[in-house]
Amino acid sequence: MNRTLMQRLKGLPGATGNSPRGRKARKPEQRACLTLEEFERWLALEVGERYHHSEHRGLFRSTPFAAWQSLVEQRAPRQLAPGHDEAMKLLINFMPLAHRSIQADGLTIFYIRYWNPVFVVWREQRQRVRVRYHPEDLSRIFVSADGRNYVQANYADLRRPRITLWEQRAAVRALRAAHVPRVSEEHVFRAIGSQRQIVEQAERSARRARRNSKAPPAAPSTELQTRDSGQPTEVDYSKPVTPYAVEIWK
């Protein structure tokens, strides 16, 4: 699947190719147009609709979907119990894992402080907790003291906007490049706000440039164009008319 998927990815606009050689000539950054959310939808369709419904030699010309259906008929698979809680538990178990200690002001990870009232009890017990987080949404994390039951913890400062892990890392790199002596939560969110403004301005400029490049040409003038041919010549009607030589079709 990986090889098939990588071949398909090379056909997307903005793909960098197999190697850095020739990347400058290809200029993938000028052709890239998909947002992360759009790419995720494309990838879901590529795997769920195209790949799983195409024939595979390893399955004797059958499709993965048909093979799955055949096995399901022989033995019913285990299914999640219906409901939001079970679905959330499954999602949490697939999230990245980190370990932290509860401090007096809450739990800090990625230079961001989080809070849940149960932290007061866990701090008194001096428990080291497990932290699960979603890279695309750092506005909340999931914390467990026993490794099985998780509670949700939100930003301690609820005024903070939702950010991604990639935005947080980019902000920290920018702050360190600027030789900020001590990175703080305030620094991180301020840097992300500035970066978002730059991106929004660039998007507006790009849209404006595309509109200008696609603008229709100016309409031709409705005024009659007069040809300046000097003084008009007079016709001598006393002379015989000389016909033009033309080709006669029979």
In the chain the first and final C-alpha atoms are separated, in Å, by 70
Q: Would you say residue 247 has pLDDT above 70?
A: no
Mean pLDDT, rounded, for 201-226: 70
Residues 162 and 138 sit within 8 Å (Cβ to Cβ): yes
How long a stretch of residues is the chain?
250
**Which pLDDT value is given to residue 200?**
87
Mean pLDDT, rounded, for 106-127: 94
Q: Which range has the top average pLDDT, 152-156, 225-229, 238-242? A: 152-156
pLDDT tier, 167 (very low <50, low <70, confident <90, very high otherwise): very high
pLDDT tier, 13 (very low <50, low <70, confident <90, very high otherwise): confident
**Which pLDDT value is given to residue 112?**
97
- Helix, strand, coil share (%) of the chain residues, nearest 5: 40, 15, 45
pLDDT tier, 209 (very low <50, low <70, confident <90, very high otherwise): confident
pLDDT tier, 188 (very low <50, low <70, confident <90, very high otherwise): very high
pLDDT tier, 140 (very low <50, low <70, confident <90, very high otherwise): very high
pLDDT tier, 241 (very low <50, low <70, confident <90, very high otherwise): low
Among 21, 50, 9, 15, which Cα is nearest to 33's?
15
**Which pLDDT value is given to residue 177?**
94
Which stretch of 98-112, 136-150, 226-240 has the lowest confidence by average pLDDT?
226-240
**Which pLDDT value is given to residue 187?**
95
Q: Would you say residue 71 has pLDDT above 90?
A: no
Residues 143 and 153 sit within 8 Å (Cβ to Cβ): yes
**Which pLDDT value is given to residue 23?**
66
Q: Report which secondary-structure segment, H or E, holds 36.
A: helix 36-45
Mean pLDDT, rounded, for 9-35: 76
**Which pLDDT value is given to residue 222?**
58
**Which pLDDT value is given to residue 145?**
94
Mean pLDDT, rounded, for 67-91: 82
**How far from the centroid of its chain's Cα atoms is residue 26's Cα?**
21
Q: Would you say residue 230 has pLDDT above 90?
A: no
Q: Would you say residue 135 has pLDDT above 90?
A: yes
